[in-house]
Copies of this chain bind each other. A is one copy, B any other.
């Protein structure tokens, strides 16, 4: 059936599949000879040569110069040009805008961090985004047209068009059309996604969740949020509104912060946002009252986490967000409170990605978008649509 359909079918599609096979074999690997490429793709030698020439002309492959000094003429070797295209990952945080520029292999080549006031309104925050993107492009020697896909991470609920439909974290943020705004600055597709979800995605890509197919990621910081990985995929829900368990008062996430903010052991005049750091520091030094406050915070965090664990039975819970830096005093009480409530206890690990996790997840989502639209044999359009640089 398959043979007959193809024989009577679309030969240019066959050429695309062959091109994708060569790209697939070469990506993320050292340069290969035509003989090696023919072996690994299952293509005949003439087909391999044909496809390699096509991909070279399109800018996807380049010939690697052989080391001199060998005997005879060495076989020509080809590598995938991971810098044929670029993606951006943008994290619009409360205090910082982060922009990462990465190549097609996902290697982050440039990072820009721009401070922004937590009180900044919409125009000021968007201005900081513009400046950070421009600075990152300049540092990489790129223009916006060189960017093939960009993902923007933001707090709040985002609709499928890339608009923030509900945000309480930043002033004047509900309603901002981030896809449109950032689309003015860069070429290609602009995706917008909730920051907790991107952080969860980053953990499955480069973090502690690489091995797991079912993950509950906890963003524990000045805000509390979650990102869910189900069956290896980011779970968004029917209308992109999944992961909003914090809205249920009975599950404690609304109250959680209050315990930390009630701390009176910090210097007078300390910003309420900074009290958490003092609590964790005092708990680390063994202060009994601070330990008790951390325990109360952990209990509220564990309530929502336990609801997610009981509902989904994940393999792994990841403690991320700013407070994960204090996992030395937070993780044990959190684990105990989850163990009290759950039927099956998942592994509970601390994120090691630090503050970069949202931006890194944004890079990953951009790459997944390209993978699906350019490189996947089922849906990809392969090389021909992309001009050589």
Contacts and interface: CB of A to CB of B under 8 A. Distances in A.
A121 to B, nearest CB: 24
Nearest to A246: B310
B21 A311 contact: no
A303 interface: yes
A210 interface: no
A351 interface: no
Contact of A3 (B6, B21, B247, B307): B6
Interface in A2-38: 2-7, 14, 17-18, 21
A42 B245 CA distance: 50
A303 B250 contact: yes
A343 B247 contact: yes
Nearest to A343: B244
A243 interface: yes
Nearest to A42: B5
Interface string A32-50: 0000000001111001000
B18 A14 contact: no
B245 A235 contact: no
A242 B230 CA distance: 11
Contacts of A166: 343
A318 to B, nearest CB: 14
Contact of A312 (B237, B248, B251): B237
A17 B226 CA distance: 44
How many copies of this protein are present in the complex?
2
Interface residues of A, number: 58
A42 B1 contact: yes
A268 to B, nearest CB: 36
Given A21-B1, A307-B307, A230 B235 contact: yes
Given A41-B1, A43-B1, A239 B7 contact: no
Given A17-B2, A230-B235, A233-B231, A242 B41 contact: no
A314 interface: yes
A245 B4 contact: no
Contact of A248 (B5, B41, B243, B341): B341
Contacts of A41: 1
A343 B157 CA distance: 10
Given A3-B7, A5-B42, A157-B343, A310 B247 contact: yes
A4 B14 CA distance: 11
A344 interface: yes
Which 8 pairs, one residue from A and one from B, show the smallest C-beta to C-beta distance?
Answer: A237-B313, A238-B315, A242-B313, A241-B313, A241-B344, A244-B310, A214-B238, A245-B310
18 contacts: A1-B18, A1-B21, A2-B2, A4-B43, A212-B238, A214-B237, A235-B312, A238-B315, A239-B315, A240-B313, A242-B312, A242-B313, A245-B310, A247-B310, A247-B343, A250-B250, A250-B251, A307-B311
